[in-house]
Amino acid sequence: MKPTVTLNQGLDVPRLGLGMWQIPDGDAESLVGTALEAGYRGIDTATSYRNERGVGAAVAASGIPRDEIVVTTKLWNSDHGTDEALRAFDASLERLGMDRVDIYLIHWPLPLRDRYLETWRVLEKLHAEGRIRAIGVSNFTAGQLTRLMDRCDIVPAVNQVELHPAFQQAQLREFHAAHGIATQAWSPLGSGQGLLDLPVLGEIARAHGRSPAQVVIRWHLQLGNLVIPRSSAAARIRENFDVFDFSLDEHEMARIASLDTGQRRGPDPDTFDYG
Ligand SMILES: NC(=O)c1ccc[n+]([C@@H]2O[C@H](COP(=O)([O-])OP(=O)(O)OC[C@H]3O[C@@H](n4cnc5c(N)ncnc54)[C@H](OP(=O)(O)O)[C@@H]3O)[C@@H](O)[C@H]2O)c1
């Protein structure tokens, strides 16, 4: 499997990147450094994770050419609106120590405030100016994406959503595929809430001499998802990247498909209005 895919806006991005939620800024530089040494070329941060400085420092210190690393960051909920979004974007760039962001996402749609179209037009402008290489969204429903595509010019490159074996989002994935939007899975391992202990995953892992986390990451890759597992441990960061030399067969994919509960664990994008 090729380690990158080309987004609808033309940017080549790694299928597998490092998630940065809940990583303190003080740990970010060393963990991102570990990931880059292990072969990762995608890092997923956000304004609200408060670790953009550490991420930027690690990218700068890595010695890897800047255009080989894809850094994603996100516009936080309090920054919807034209002036707010422009300010928030500049502040992210300053913290990252960069002159452009590779992927910039609207973190949540906040339909109750209904400012995401206005905010999206700011991202379109920054993209046109070359200050963002690809623009996308996170936590958008098919209905919100449809409205955005009807009313704005650029189709989002990515929609980053909750997606793991217990919440597989088949309909939304189909919608994305039909519109050329990449599906990026957040909490791909179930965010440390026992998902990896499910016996089916253990059985498949043993059959391959792999860990349950590696099996789940491989499942995401074979579905075509972009995937961004997080770990605060260097050994697990390396383990989670070591997934390109085995594959799950149809029967194993079907067994994991049967783990879907249809229940999200995180907030509902239609009602979430925090921050
Ligand atoms: N857009 C959004 O609204 C949104 C929301 C949530 C998350 N995200 C993004 O998605 C990323 C991933 O989601 P997440 O952070 O919720 O969780 P996750 O990646 O699904 O799971 C992380 C948990 O799994 C454990 N883990 C990692 N590798 C492991 C391994 N090989 N074996 C056993 N356990 C392992 C970690 O523990 P250790 O640290 O102890 O290894 C941690 O508790 C985030 O970091 C963030 O970048 C985005």
Q: What is the pLDDT of residues 177-233, one digit of tens each?
A: 999 999 999 999 999 999 999 999 999 999 999 999 999 999 999 999 999 999 999
Residue 155 resides in a domain: yes
Q: Which tens digit of pLDDT belongs to each residue from 213-229?
A: 999 999 999 999 999 99
Domain range enclosing 43: 12-257
Q: Which tens digit of pLDDT belongs to each residue from 152-173?
A: 999 999 999 999 999 999 999 9
What was the pLDDT predicted at 225?
Answer: 98
Q: Which atom of ligand 1 is nearest to the CA of 212?
A: 32
Residue 140 resides in a domain: yes
Tokens 């420092």 correspond to 57
**Ligand 1 neighbour 229 (Cβ under 6 A):** yes
Query: What is the CATH number for 227?
Result: 3.20.20.100
Residue 30 resides in a domain: yes
Residue 188 resides in a domain: yes
Residue ID of nearest Cα to ligand 1 atom 25: 192
Q: Please say whether the beta carbons of 71 and 36 come within 8 A.
A: no
Instruction: Choose which residue among 105, 106, 164, 186 to substitute to test ligand 1 binding: the one with the highest number of ligand atoms within 8 A of its C-beta.
Output: 186
Annotated binding site for substrate: 107
Residue 65 resides in a domain: yes
Q: Please say whether the beta carbons of 104 and 9 come within 8 A.
A: no
**Ligand 1 neighbour 210 (Cβ under 6 A):** no
**Ligand 1 neighbour 138 (Cβ under 6 A):** yes
Residue 247 resides in a domain: yes
Residue 232 resides in a domain: yes
Number of domains observed in the structure of the chain: 1
**Ligand 1 neighbour 183 (Cβ under 6 A):** no
Q: Would you call 49 a catalytic residue per the annotation? A: yes
| Burial class of residue 253, CB neighbours in 10 A (0-12, 13-18, 19+) | middle
Residue 7 resides in a domain: no
